[in-house]
Amino acid sequence: MTRAKILIADDKPENILALAKLIESRDVEIMSVQSGEEALNLIIDHDFALALLDVQMPSMTGFELAELMRGAERSRNIPIIFVTAANLGPEAVFAGYEHGAVDFLLKPLSPYVVRSKVRVFIDLYRQRLDLLILKEQAEEASHAKSQFLANMSHEIRTPLGSILGFAELLNHQTLTDTDQRTSVETILRNAKLLSRLIDDVLDLSKIEAGRIDVEAIPVSMKELLDDLQAVLDFRAQERGILFKIEAPDSDIQKNFLSDPTRIRQILINIISNAIKFTEKGEVCVKVISRSAPGGKVYIRFEVRDTGCGLTPEQSARLFQPFTQADSSTTRRYGGTGLGLVIARQLARALGGDVLLEKSAINEGSTFLVEISATSIAASQAVIKSTTENMKDFFRDKVLAGYKILIVDDAKDILMLMMRILTLSGAEVVGVNSGLKAIDTLNSYQADLVLMDIQMPDMDGCETTVILRRNGFTKPIIALTAHTVKEELDRCLRSGVSTHLSKLVEHDELIRTILAVGAR
């Protein structure tokens, strides 16, 4: 704890000694002088919590010293208590207050009164320091969030500009087939980037609210690593660097219980960073697992790059929300400064952590990702990787024979969903409100309902409750732009069969319909 400094000014050493003895404390530093001139010299170099000034000093009285203190910017807010004889007249008291006194100590001094009055001002001083610290922290947080918003605006506008530009380009009749394919691929790639940005912000809000949920389902190490190789190898090739994953055969063949989606999110985040900051050389991921009693397994992913590296000062700024190594990092490489924070919190939710093991300028960095999982037998069912080859749902008309009602007040989403499902072979009816959905199902024998949740007048949950009450027993899939747990739980309580994000990919939408609407 920083000790509060108290200035005592008195021309008599015995008075200084007596007063100092009364107020001495472990959290107080006493500095004393025997003249006003000496006091002014100390004030130049020190911040005082309180000044105790003798009124009657030669060459410069306590009142004169106080007047000089009040006239200087540095000392005008220092509380002043005058120490004087008890026979001080009313005029002198008024003069003291006019010169800036906050109180008087009357001789002979009462130990209890002296300690009580001094302690009040020490406590006020500490409160003022605490407020200053809070103010600085608030200003730093405000600056960081303002910088984050500026970065986020840039990160959103960049892909959005590509989407709008290439979408407009598709309107040109003279576009070749190759140019059309390139335009569509660019639009999809940038749309997925926007989706990830939104997911990052939502994940951060969940983390700050302590609402991160993780699963414990079977994971194949081999398929996880194959998935990472397939997803990230292309990014490395674009940068002109090598990307490789090294793991012992014994580790590659392992299966375990954990959350594959969160593991992929963590690793893709960390490895993507390594690729982004590496201009030549390689990014290498080494996998090491360690068994523990009780069927536990600890898995370590060592992500090493030959990139630009970090200074110790830059390293200290990592893992802070809205913060990157420095402003030049944002200008040169982009990004929101959320990735490492989210990766670390997700890893901790999985019983592990994300750490910067080492880094040096122009030599690269090594990050460690650790998770704790439960080992399972190789024969147990394992969730397939995201790169699993899917059917061509449009060509195979996999939804042939399905009658589907789509409920959404957003015209473009309604049109998109109807087109996707019609191309997949389904018979589709679309309505734009909950009331129309209830009315339509009185006569239309739908096999399944896609229900928008946020609609005016009657939302999707309210509509679902009425449909269930009216005896509709077929599956209802909620489509929602909200991914917070409370909203999803409300959907399930209302009677929906499952829920999907409105950013759902076509394959996932059709797979979900096939799963819940199995006939």
9-39: per-residue pLDDT in tens?
A: 999 999 999 999 999 988 899 999 999 999 9
If one compares 117 and 192, the residue with the highest pLDDT of the two is 117
Is 131 domain-assigned? Answer: no
Range of the domain at 167: 146-208
Is 350 domain-assigned? Answer: yes
> What CATH number does residue 339 fall under?
3.30.565.10
Q: How many CB atoms lie within 10 A of CB 304?
A: 18
Same domain? 160 vs 281: no
Is 165 domain-assigned? Answer: yes
* Structure confidence at residue 386 as a pLDDT band (50, 70, 90): very low
If one compares 262 and 330, the residue with the highest pLDDT of the two is 262
Same domain? 248 vs 314: yes
C-alpha–C-alpha distance, residues 440 and 433, integer Å: 11
Same domain? 222 vs 260: yes
Same domain? 221 vs 199: no
Q: Is the whole-model pTM more than 0.85? A: no
217 has a pLDDT exceeding 80: yes
Given 109, 136, 162, the domain boundary residue is 109
Q: What percent of the chain has pLDDT over 70?
A: 88
> Nearest to residue 254, comparing CAs of 168, 169, 373?
373
Q: How far is CA 51 from the centre of its chain?
A: 45
182 has a pLDDT exceeding 50: yes
* Structure confidence at residue 485 as a pLDDT band (50, 70, 90): low
* Structure confidence at residue 377 as a pLDDT band (50, 70, 90): confident
Lowest pLDDT segment from 62-71, 300-309, 312-321, 446-455: 312-321
> What CATH number does residue 195 fall under?
1.10.287.130
353 has a pLDDT exceeding 60: yes
* Structure confidence at residue 107 as a pLDDT band (50, 70, 90): confident
What phi, psi does 64 have (nearest 5°)? Answer: -65, -40
Report how many domains make up the chain.
Answer: 4
If one compares 365 and 1, the residue with the highest pLDDT of the two is 365
Q: What is the pLDDT of residues 68-82, one digit of tens each?
A: 998 888 898 899 999
Same domain? 328 vs 431: no
Same domain? 248 vs 310: yes
382 has a pLDDT exceeding 70: no
Amino acid at 37: E
Is 334 domain-assigned? Answer: yes
3 has a pLDDT exceeding 70: yes
Q: What is the pLDDT of residues 257-279, one digit of tens each?
A: 999 888 998 998 899 889 988 99
Please give the helix or strand (H or E) that residue 45 lies within, else none.
Answer: helix 36-45
C-alpha–C-alpha distance, residues 325 and 320, integer Å: 10
Same domain? 105 vs 197: no
Is 127 domain-assigned? Answer: no
Lowest pLDDT segment from 123-137, 216-230, 483-497: 483-497
Same domain? 258 vs 397: no
Same domain? 412 vs 360: no
pLDDT of residue 494: 92
Q: Mean pLDDT over all residues of the chain?
A: 85
pLDDT of residue 322: 56
DSSP secondary structure string, 255-298?
EEEE-HHHHHHHHHHHHHHHHHT-SSSEEEEEEEEEEEGGGEEE
Same domain? 301 vs 270: yes
Average pLDDT rounded to a whole number, residues 150-164? 75
Same domain? 413 vs 297: no
236 has a pLDDT exceeding 80: yes
Given 208, 228, 246, the domain boundary residue is 208
> Nearest to residue 228, comparing CAs of 216, 243, 207?
243
Average pLDDT rounded to a whole number, residues 163-175? 83
Average pLDDT rounded to a whole number, residues 133-142? 82
Lowest pLDDT segment from 140-149, 227-236, 329-338, 425-434: 329-338
pLDDT of residue 201: 73
**Antiparallel, parallel or unpaired: β 364-376 and 353-360:** antiparallel
C-alpha–C-alpha distance, residues 132 and 138, integer Å: 10
389 has a pLDDT exceeding 50: no
What phi, psi does 185 have (nearest 5°)? Answer: -60, -40
Q: What percent of the chain has pLDDT over 90?
A: 36
Q: Which tokens hold the place of 219? A: 């994971």
Amino acid at 322: F
388 has a pLDDT exceeding 50: no
Is 44 domain-assigned? Answer: yes
pLDDT of residue 242: 95
C-alpha–C-alpha distance, residues 414 and 421, integer Å: 11
Is 79 domain-assigned? Answer: yes
* Structure confidence at residue 245 as a pLDDT band (50, 70, 90): very high
336 has a pLDDT exceeding 70: no
Same domain? 160 vs 179: yes
C-alpha–C-alpha distance, residues 498 and 504, integer Å: 13
437 has a pLDDT exceeding 90: yes
* Structure confidence at residue 227 as a pLDDT band (50, 70, 90): confident
pLDDT of residue 208: 63
Is 78 domain-assigned? Answer: yes
